[in-house]
Structure 1
Amino acid sequence: MSTAKAERLLIADDDANLVEAYVSFFEAYGYAVQTAVDGVGALAAYSAWRPDVVILDIQMPRVDGHAVAREIRRIGFAPRPFLLAVTALHAPGEKTESFKAGFDHHFVKPARLPVILAAIASRPTI
């Protein structure tokens, strides 16, 4: 069940049970995974580790996922990371707000992990 290469995946969400499920799932597909429980931790992990893919909840303590995405885009490390919002926010306009913040995809919880994996696998390569 592993991928051809071990890509780096950062997951930031304040729901510990959800993060545990994400970690188990993505590690089974060969991803090297780090986690954060809030936006401040996500930014620190991103800057130190420079993951290929970042999955962010929007409603996190301290700094929300939109602010984290905007800061990641402002930092501008190359290659540009693939950003995915996985959030409970489903009101009209939430997806637009995620794209404005710099996300490549916006998934509504409960998001199906195989669908997220497919989005990551099908992203354009640089």
Structure 2
Amino acid sequence: AESLSLLLSLGGNEVRTAGDGIDALATAQQFRPHVMLVDIAMPGLNGHEVCRKVRETPWGRDALMIATSGWGQPEDRRQSAQAGFDHHLVKPVDYGAVDALLAARAGR
């Protein structure tokens, strides 16, 4: 997460990180990001719970939500989509894949 955060920052993005789901949700409520990369297996609230709660907010309805997980089977991806994620990336997350999603979102 730290190396991906650094690469995103160097790419001109404003980045916040959190160590658990509760902190991730609190940080998101203050920061109101346009894009969130969320680890499914976070302590506190898992990534699916975080995504559902973000989607319930006015600012989170249109956020680009990207799940990150060590699991990438069809059922894992289905659960992520059902929770409200737009994309499901398998760890280790490739920066190029994230950059492509950000570029598509920005219309680049």
Tell me, yes or no, whether TM beats 0.5.
yes
Identity of aligned residues (%): 35
- After TM superposition, where is structure 1 displaced by more than 4 Å over at least 4 residues in a row? none
Letter in 2 for 1:55: L
CA gap 1:106/1:28 in 2 versus in 1, 3 angstroms: same
Q: Distance in 2 between matches of 1:63 and 1:79?
A: 19
Equivalences for 1:95-110 in 2 at 5 Å? 95-110=77-92
Q: Deviations over 1:37-96 (max 9, x none)?
A: 110001001111101110000001011000000000112326721100011122331001
Q: How many positions carry a matched residue from both structures? A: 107
- Among candidates 67, 70, 74, match of residue 85 of structure 1: 67
Partner SS for 2:44: coil
Partner SS for 1:121: helix
Equivalences for 1:1-126 in 2 at 5 Å? 19-77=1-59, 80-123=62-105
Q: Which moved more, 1:78-87 or 1:90-99?
A: 78-87
Name the residue aligned to 1:14.
none
Unaligned runs of 5+ in 1: 1-18
Q: Distance in 1 between matches of 2:7 and 2:59?
A: 27
- Aligned-pair CA distance for 1:104: 0.6
More helix by share: 2
Partner SS for 1:93: helix
Q: Distance in 2 between matches of 1:90 and 1:106?
A: 8
